[in-house]
Amino acid sequence: MSDKNTFFKQKSTLNINGKLLDLTVPKVMGILNITPDSFYDGGVHNNIDQALRHTEKHLSEGAAIIDIGAYSSRPSAADISVKDEIDRLRPVLQAIAKRFPEAILSIDTFRSEVATAAVNEGAHIINDISGGSLDERMFETIAELKVPYILMHMRGTPKTMQKLTSYNNMVQEILEYFISRISDLRSLGVKDIIIDPGYGFAKTTEQNYELLSRSDQFKILELPVLTAVSRKSMIYKPLEISADEALNGTTALHTIALLKGSSILRAHDVKQAVEAIKIVSMLPSY
Protein backbone atom coordinates (compact mmCIF):
# COMPACT_ATOMS: atom_id res chain seq x y z
CA MET A 1 0.00 0.00 0.00
CA SER A 2 1.28 3.40 -0.93
CA ASP A 3 1.43 6.20 1.59
CA LYS A 4 1.81 9.08 -0.86
CA ASN A 5 -0.73 11.25 0.91
CA THR A 6 1.38 11.75 4.05
CA PHE A 7 4.40 13.93 4.68
CA PHE A 8 5.96 11.26 6.88
CA LYS A 9 7.67 8.26 5.32
CA GLN A 10 7.75 5.14 7.49
CA LYS A 11 10.83 2.94 7.44
CA SER A 12 9.88 0.09 5.11
CA THR A 13 12.55 -2.57 5.71
CA LEU A 14 13.94 -4.58 8.62
CA ASN A 15 17.39 -6.16 8.65
CA ILE A 16 16.83 -9.80 9.57
CA ASN A 17 20.24 -11.41 9.97
CA GLY A 18 21.57 -9.68 6.86
CA LYS A 19 18.41 -10.05 4.76
CA LEU A 20 15.88 -7.27 4.30
CA LEU A 21 12.23 -7.84 5.17
CA ASP A 22 10.16 -5.52 2.98
CA LEU A 23 7.24 -3.87 4.80
CA THR A 24 6.03 -1.84 1.83
CA VAL A 25 3.11 -4.25 1.83
CA PRO A 26 2.15 -4.98 5.46
CA LYS A 27 3.05 -8.34 6.94
CA VAL A 28 1.40 -10.75 9.36
CA MET A 29 3.07 -11.95 12.55
CA GLY A 30 1.56 -15.27 13.60
CA ILE A 31 1.16 -15.79 17.34
CA LEU A 32 2.55 -18.95 18.93
CA ASN A 33 1.89 -19.06 22.66
CA ILE A 34 3.68 -21.92 24.39
CA THR A 35 2.27 -20.97 27.78
CA PRO A 36 -0.33 -22.88 29.78
CA ASP A 37 -2.34 -19.75 30.61
CA SER A 38 -2.49 -17.26 27.73
CA PHE A 39 -5.90 -15.58 27.43
CA TYR A 40 -7.00 -17.24 24.18
CA ASP A 41 -4.96 -20.34 23.41
CA GLY A 42 -3.12 -21.14 26.62
CA GLY A 43 -2.09 -24.78 26.83
CA VAL A 44 -2.93 -25.54 23.20
CA HIS A 45 0.55 -25.31 21.66
CA ASN A 46 2.87 -25.85 24.62
CA ASN A 47 4.60 -29.02 23.51
CA ILE A 48 7.02 -29.36 20.61
CA ASP A 49 4.77 -31.31 18.24
CA GLN A 50 1.84 -28.94 18.74
CA ALA A 51 4.11 -25.91 18.34
CA LEU A 52 5.58 -27.28 15.10
CA ARG A 53 2.14 -27.99 13.66
CA HIS A 54 0.90 -24.52 14.53
CA THR A 55 4.02 -22.89 13.10
CA GLU A 56 3.60 -24.85 9.88
CA LYS A 57 -0.04 -23.72 9.67
CA HIS A 58 0.90 -20.07 10.21
CA LEU A 59 3.64 -20.20 7.57
CA SER A 60 1.44 -22.00 5.04
CA GLU A 61 -1.22 -19.31 5.49
CA GLY A 62 1.23 -16.50 4.79
CA ALA A 63 2.80 -15.42 8.09
CA ALA A 64 6.06 -13.53 7.52
CA ILE A 65 7.04 -13.73 11.20
CA ILE A 66 6.30 -16.21 14.00
CA ASP A 67 6.08 -14.59 17.45
CA ILE A 68 6.83 -17.12 20.21
CA GLY A 69 5.76 -16.36 23.77
CA ALA A 70 6.78 -18.42 26.79
CA TYR A 71 5.50 -15.94 29.43
CA SER A 72 1.84 -14.99 29.63
CA SER A 73 1.25 -11.25 30.10
CA ARG A 74 -2.47 -11.40 30.86
CA PRO A 75 -3.22 -9.66 34.19
CA SER A 76 -3.89 -12.79 36.29
CA ALA A 77 -1.23 -15.02 34.76
CA ALA A 78 1.31 -16.74 36.97
CA ASP A 79 4.79 -15.24 37.22
CA ILE A 80 7.66 -17.54 36.26
CA SER A 81 11.41 -17.21 36.71
CA VAL A 82 13.89 -16.31 33.98
CA LYS A 83 15.18 -19.88 34.10
CA ASP A 84 11.70 -21.34 33.72
CA GLU A 85 10.96 -19.02 30.79
CA ILE A 86 14.19 -20.05 29.03
CA ASP A 87 13.60 -23.73 29.80
CA ARG A 88 10.09 -23.49 28.38
CA LEU A 89 11.22 -21.59 25.29
CA ARG A 90 14.53 -23.23 24.30
CA PRO A 91 13.39 -26.70 23.12
CA VAL A 92 10.49 -25.28 21.11
CA LEU A 93 12.65 -22.58 19.54
CA GLN A 94 15.36 -25.10 18.66
CA ALA A 95 12.81 -27.41 17.03
CA ILE A 96 11.19 -24.63 15.01
CA ALA A 97 14.52 -23.19 13.86
CA LYS A 98 15.60 -26.67 12.72
CA ARG A 99 12.33 -27.59 10.96
CA PHE A 100 11.77 -24.15 9.38
CA PRO A 101 15.24 -22.62 8.88
CA GLU A 102 13.94 -19.81 6.63
CA ALA A 103 11.27 -18.66 9.09
CA ILE A 104 11.68 -15.30 10.81
CA LEU A 105 11.26 -15.87 14.54
CA SER A 106 10.32 -13.21 17.08
CA ILE A 107 10.47 -13.78 20.84
CA ASP A 108 7.88 -12.17 23.11
CA THR A 109 9.88 -11.40 26.27
CA PHE A 110 10.72 -8.45 28.50
CA ARG A 111 13.83 -10.11 29.96
CA SER A 112 17.29 -9.47 28.54
CA GLU A 113 18.62 -12.89 29.57
CA VAL A 114 15.79 -14.57 27.69
CA ALA A 115 16.44 -12.34 24.68
CA THR A 116 20.12 -13.33 24.63
CA ALA A 117 19.38 -17.04 25.00
CA ALA A 118 16.75 -16.87 22.26
CA VAL A 119 18.93 -15.08 19.72
CA ASN A 120 21.71 -17.56 20.42
CA GLU A 121 19.24 -20.31 19.49
CA GLY A 122 18.26 -18.67 16.20
CA ALA A 123 15.65 -16.01 16.99
CA HIS A 124 15.71 -12.83 14.88
CA ILE A 125 13.49 -10.23 16.63
CA ILE A 126 12.74 -9.32 20.26
CA ASN A 127 9.19 -8.23 21.09
CA ASP A 128 9.20 -6.46 24.48
CA ILE A 129 5.83 -5.58 26.03
CA SER A 130 7.54 -3.40 28.62
CA GLY A 131 9.52 -1.17 26.27
CA GLY A 132 12.61 -1.80 28.37
CA SER A 133 10.97 -0.68 31.63
CA LEU A 134 11.04 -4.08 33.37
CA ASP A 135 14.69 -4.90 32.66
CA GLU A 136 17.26 -2.11 32.67
CA ARG A 137 19.64 -4.28 30.64
CA MET A 138 17.25 -4.81 27.74
CA PHE A 139 18.24 -1.84 25.55
CA GLU A 140 21.96 -2.53 25.91
CA THR A 141 21.32 -6.20 25.17
CA ILE A 142 19.39 -5.39 21.99
CA ALA A 143 22.27 -3.16 20.88
CA GLU A 144 24.74 -5.99 21.51
CA LEU A 145 22.58 -8.58 19.75
CA LYS A 146 21.98 -6.29 16.74
CA VAL A 147 18.43 -7.52 16.15
CA PRO A 148 15.19 -5.64 15.41
CA TYR A 149 13.30 -4.60 18.54
CA ILE A 150 9.56 -4.17 19.03
CA LEU A 151 9.07 -1.32 21.48
CA MET A 152 5.63 -1.46 23.11
CA HIS A 153 3.90 1.06 25.33
CA MET A 154 2.86 -0.16 28.77
CA ARG A 155 2.66 1.22 32.28
CA GLY A 156 3.50 -0.82 35.36
CA THR A 157 3.54 -4.59 35.07
CA PRO A 158 1.03 -7.10 33.68
CA LYS A 159 -0.39 -7.41 37.22
CA THR A 160 -0.75 -3.64 37.84
CA MET A 161 -1.27 -2.14 34.36
CA GLN A 162 -5.07 -2.01 34.45
CA LYS A 163 -4.92 0.32 37.46
CA LEU A 164 -2.72 2.76 35.52
CA THR A 165 -5.12 4.07 32.88
CA SER A 166 -5.27 7.76 33.83
CA TYR A 167 -3.92 10.11 31.13
CA ASN A 168 -4.20 13.83 30.51
CA ASN A 169 -3.65 13.37 26.76
CA MET A 170 -3.16 9.68 26.06
CA VAL A 171 -1.84 9.80 22.50
CA GLN A 172 0.48 12.70 23.25
CA GLU A 173 1.85 10.91 26.31
CA ILE A 174 2.40 7.71 24.35
CA LEU A 175 4.18 9.67 21.62
CA GLU A 176 6.45 11.26 24.22
CA TYR A 177 7.14 7.80 25.68
CA PHE A 178 8.16 6.50 22.26
CA ILE A 179 10.28 9.54 21.40
CA SER A 180 12.25 9.21 24.65
CA ARG A 181 12.85 5.47 24.31
CA ILE A 182 13.65 5.63 20.61
CA SER A 183 16.28 8.25 21.43
CA ASP A 184 17.77 5.96 24.08
CA LEU A 185 17.86 3.03 21.64
CA ARG A 186 19.39 5.13 18.87
CA SER A 187 22.10 6.40 21.22
CA LEU A 188 23.12 2.77 21.77
CA GLY A 189 23.21 2.05 18.05
CA VAL A 190 19.94 0.14 17.64
CA LYS A 191 18.88 0.56 14.02
CA ASP A 192 15.68 -1.46 13.52
CA ILE A 193 12.82 -0.41 15.79
CA ILE A 194 9.12 -1.26 15.44
CA ILE A 195 6.59 0.49 17.69
CA ASP A 196 3.51 -1.12 19.24
CA PRO A 197 0.96 1.22 20.89
CA GLY A 198 0.10 -1.53 23.37
CA TYR A 199 -3.62 -2.11 22.98
CA GLY A 200 -5.02 -3.48 26.23
CA PHE A 201 -1.93 -2.60 28.27
CA ALA A 202 -2.76 0.21 30.73
CA LYS A 203 -5.70 1.24 28.56
CA THR A 204 -9.44 0.90 29.05
CA THR A 205 -11.65 -0.42 26.26
CA GLU A 206 -12.65 3.13 25.34
CA GLN A 207 -9.01 4.26 25.34
CA ASN A 208 -8.08 1.38 23.04
CA TYR A 209 -10.56 2.63 20.45
CA GLU A 210 -9.38 6.22 20.80
CA LEU A 211 -5.83 4.97 20.30
CA LEU A 212 -6.76 2.99 17.19
CA SER A 213 -8.69 5.90 15.70
CA ARG A 214 -5.68 8.18 16.17
CA SER A 215 -2.97 5.62 15.41
CA ASP A 216 -2.05 7.36 12.15
CA GLN A 217 -0.44 10.04 14.33
CA PHE A 218 2.39 7.61 15.04
CA LYS A 219 3.56 8.15 11.45
CA ILE A 220 5.45 11.15 12.78
CA LEU A 221 7.95 8.68 14.27
CA GLU A 222 8.69 7.32 10.75
CA LEU A 223 8.94 3.74 12.06
CA PRO A 224 6.93 0.60 11.31
CA VAL A 225 3.85 0.24 13.51
CA LEU A 226 2.74 -3.15 14.80
CA THR A 227 -0.91 -3.63 15.69
CA ALA A 228 -1.74 -6.32 18.25
CA VAL A 229 -5.51 -6.47 18.82
CA SER A 230 -6.22 -10.09 17.90
CA ARG A 231 -9.18 -11.52 19.87
CA LYS A 232 -8.56 -9.10 22.75
CA SER A 233 -11.17 -8.00 25.28
CA MET A 234 -11.55 -4.65 23.49
CA ILE A 235 -13.38 -6.73 20.86
CA TYR A 236 -15.24 -9.38 22.78
CA LYS A 237 -16.40 -7.32 25.77
CA PRO A 238 -18.35 -4.68 23.79
CA LEU A 239 -19.86 -7.44 21.63
CA GLU A 240 -20.69 -9.54 24.72
CA ILE A 241 -19.05 -12.61 23.23
CA SER A 242 -15.98 -14.73 24.05
CA ALA A 243 -12.45 -14.56 22.65
CA ASP A 244 -13.32 -17.71 20.69
CA GLU A 245 -16.00 -15.72 18.85
CA ALA A 246 -13.93 -12.59 18.22
CA LEU A 247 -12.44 -13.36 14.79
CA ASN A 248 -14.87 -11.18 12.86
CA GLY A 249 -14.25 -8.23 15.17
CA THR A 250 -10.51 -8.80 14.91
CA THR A 251 -10.66 -8.58 11.11
CA ALA A 252 -12.66 -5.35 11.37
CA LEU A 253 -10.02 -3.77 13.59
CA HIS A 254 -7.20 -5.09 11.40
CA THR A 255 -8.78 -3.33 8.44
CA ILE A 256 -8.95 -0.04 10.34
CA ALA A 257 -5.33 -0.44 11.50
CA LEU A 258 -4.15 -1.02 7.94
CA LEU A 259 -5.98 2.08 6.73
CA LYS A 260 -4.27 4.01 9.52
CA GLY A 261 -0.83 2.85 8.36
CA SER A 262 0.01 -0.30 10.32
CA SER A 263 2.92 -2.30 8.88
CA ILE A 264 2.55 -5.52 10.89
CA LEU A 265 -0.55 -7.32 12.17
CA ARG A 266 0.11 -9.64 15.11
CA ALA A 267 -2.61 -12.26 14.77
CA HIS A 268 -3.85 -15.59 16.03
CA ASP A 269 -5.61 -16.15 12.69
CA VAL A 270 -3.08 -15.65 9.92
CA LYS A 271 -5.21 -16.50 6.89
CA GLN A 272 -7.83 -13.88 7.71
CA ALA A 273 -5.21 -11.22 8.47
CA VAL A 274 -3.45 -11.92 5.15
CA GLU A 275 -6.79 -11.58 3.38
CA ALA A 276 -7.44 -8.24 5.07
CA ILE A 277 -4.09 -6.98 3.80
CA LYS A 278 -4.84 -8.16 0.26
CA ILE A 279 -8.25 -6.47 0.26
CA VAL A 280 -6.96 -3.15 1.66
CA SER A 281 -4.05 -3.28 -0.79
CA MET A 282 -6.59 -3.21 -3.63
CA LEU A 283 -7.61 0.32 -2.73
CA PRO A 284 -6.11 2.86 -5.16
CA SER A 285 -3.89 5.57 -3.71
CA TYR A 286 -3.88 9.11 -4.96
> What is the per-residue pLDDT for 44?
54
Structure confidence at residue 285 as a pLDDT band (50, 70, 90): confident
Q: What is the mean pLDDT of residues 247-273?
A: 98
> What is the per-residue pLDDT for 39?
46
Contacting residues for 53 by C-beta, under 8 A, at least 6 apart: none
Q: What is the mean pLDDT of residues 146-173?
A: 94
* pLDDT tens sequence across 5-60: 455 677 899 999 999 999 999 999 999 999 875 544 544 556 899 999 999 999 99
Structure confidence at residue 2 as a pLDDT band (50, 70, 90): very low
Reply yes or no on whether 266 is catalytic.
yes
* pLDDT tens sequence across 170-209: 999 999 999 999 999 999 999 999 999 999 999 999 999 9
Rounded to an integer, what distance in angstroms lies between the CA atom of residue 142 and that of residue 138?
6
Closest CA to 51 of 109, 98, 86, 92: 92
Residue 204: count of CB within 10 angstroms of its CB: 14
Out of 4, 232, 260, 278, the active site residue is 232
Out of 98, 266, 271, 278, the active site residue is 266
Angle between the N-to-C axes of helices 82-99 and 48-60, in degrees from 0 to 180, rounded to the nearest 10: 50
Host H or E run for residue 149: strand 149-152
Reply yes or no on whether 137 is catalytic.
no
The residues pairing with 265 across neighbouring beta strands, listed in sequence order, are 28, 227
Mean pLDDT of the chain: 92
* pLDDT tens sequence across 79-119: 789 999 999 999 999 999 999 999 999 999 999 999 999 99
Q: List domains and CATH numbers for the chain.
A: 19-281 (3.20.20.20)
